Structure 1
Amino acid sequence: MMKYLAIILLLFAIVLNEAHAQITQGFTVKAIVVDGDTILMENLPQIIIKDRRTFKSKRHAVRYNRLVRNVKKVYPYSQLAASLLRKYNDTLMATTDKREQRKIMKQAEKELWDRYGDELKKMTVSQGLILIKLIDRETGSTSYELVQELRGRFTAFIFQGLARLFHLNLKASYNDDGEDQRIEDIVLLIEQGDI
């Protein structure tokens, strides 16, 4: 009898060892309970649905396609400018010495000019205007305000004068509802991955 009991206990131990609870696979989701019913919650990215764009003439289509090309070219630079501005602001906040801050800014300007100077020199005037507006969109400050804050009033005045020679305005702000609506539409399409 002891033999049978030992065999039964051994088999029982083997079976229990093989028995697993539910395997925890999957993922966690947000949910709310409304009137005893559980409803899953998920944040979806913004989707823009627009009619197919029609143009009055072939010239308008060419202008729009040129604007798309220009925005696609300068948009990464505006994002880069915003991220570098945040990085340099953090670095500048770490020190209170004005001389050290000027040294940091000169070094940053030299690095940026060495790395992106040739590409920025090749931009057209219209691409420069779009870049100025997109920098305002990404940072919340006009290019003039940024230069004034980082380099001083006199330098900002000189840069504004140079920009005016090319019919640009560093004080131009971004208005996504008004005149810059087409640029905003293109940027949203780029962010959405449609173009």
Structure 2
Amino acid sequence: MSDLKGYIIGIVFLFCCFTGKAQQIKMNAIPADVQRAVVDEGDTIAIVHLRNIYVYPEVKFKSKKEQEKYTKLVRDVKRTLPYAKMVYYTLIETYEYMETLPDDKSRQKHLEKMEKELFKQYKPELKKLTFSQGKLLIKLIDRECNQSSYNLLKAYLGSFRAGFWNLFAGMFGASLKSEYDPKGNDKMTERIVVLVENGLI
């Protein structure tokens, strides 16, 4: 059972990692040692970008069980969020690199090599995730990549195989089509994610 669980979580993570279907994102990055400024009537005024400040009302628990559920969610987000972000950055890097390859054959060869390396590196870690963490990872991948794990698998494997893996995931109470709903069912998760991303929890 543990091997099957690890395998399906691994499949989702790894195929999401090396699928080459990602939107190209252009970022106007400024080196850390370069500061922007404007000159106004002879005075040089530095432009400083301050990070957003997030303030949430205090969480009030109706019972100890509710508090334990919240504590568990905090733990699970901290455990899975780095993997979801890794999927996103790997998608971007893979897309950009594959654009430099001359033909489909070389792209396929690159993906196969990447698959082998990713499986070797991450499968042991992913097998340690619980079912609830695996389901959360699927949702966080949707949050980071703005598309479901099912759509990412479909882009790489095709509809039939993506459907098979979704059916297989369903046997364990998961769905690769799960979408992240930050204003509804996943409101508390979104709050925790934002706090974790800003080092506040």
Bigger fraction of residues in helix: 1
Matches within 5 A, 1:7-46: 30=37, 42-46=48-52
CA deviation profile, 1:68-96 (whole Å, cap 9, x unmatched): 00000000001111111111112222336
1:162 is aligned with what amino acid? Answer: F
1:72 aligns with 2:55: no
Matches within 5 A, 1:146-165: 146-165=152-171
Higher mean C-alpha deviation, range 134-143 or range 67-76: 134-143
1:87 aligns with 2:93: yes
How far apart are the structure 2 equivalents of 1:169 and 1:77? 18
How far apart are the structure 2 equivalents of 1:32 and 1:130? 49
CA deviation profile, 1:24-78 (whole Å, cap 9, x unmatched): xxx9664697xxxx98753211111122221010000000000000000000001
Matches within 5 A, 1:1-195: 30=37, 42-95=48-101, 97-195=103-201
How far apart are the structure 1 equivalents of 2:188 and 2:101? 41
Note the residue ranges of structure 1 that are not aligned, 5 or more in a row. 1-26
Tell me: higher relative CO, structure 1 or 2? Use CA pairs within 8 A at least 6 residues apart. 2
How far apart are the structure 2 equivalents of 1:111 and 1:117? 10
Could you tell me the percent identity over the aligned residues? Answer: 36
RMSD: 2.4
1:191 is aligned with what amino acid? Answer: E
Larger Rg computed on CA atoms: 1
Per the TM alignment, residue 117 of structure 1 is displaced from its structure 2 partner at its CA by 0.2
Q: Secondary structure at the match of 2:132?
A: helix
Which residue matches 1:9? none
2:86 is aligned with what amino acid? Answer: L
Normalising by structure 2, report the TM-score.
0.75
The 8 Å contact of residues 31 and 40 in structure 1, kept in 2 or not, is answered as yes
How far apart are the structure 2 equivalents of 1:143 and 1:88? 16
Which residue matches 1:16? none
How far apart are the structure 2 equivalents of 1:32 and 1:164? 60
How far apart are the structure 2 equivalents of 1:44 and 1:32? 20
Normalising by structure 1, report the TM-score.
0.77
Which residue matches 1:23? none
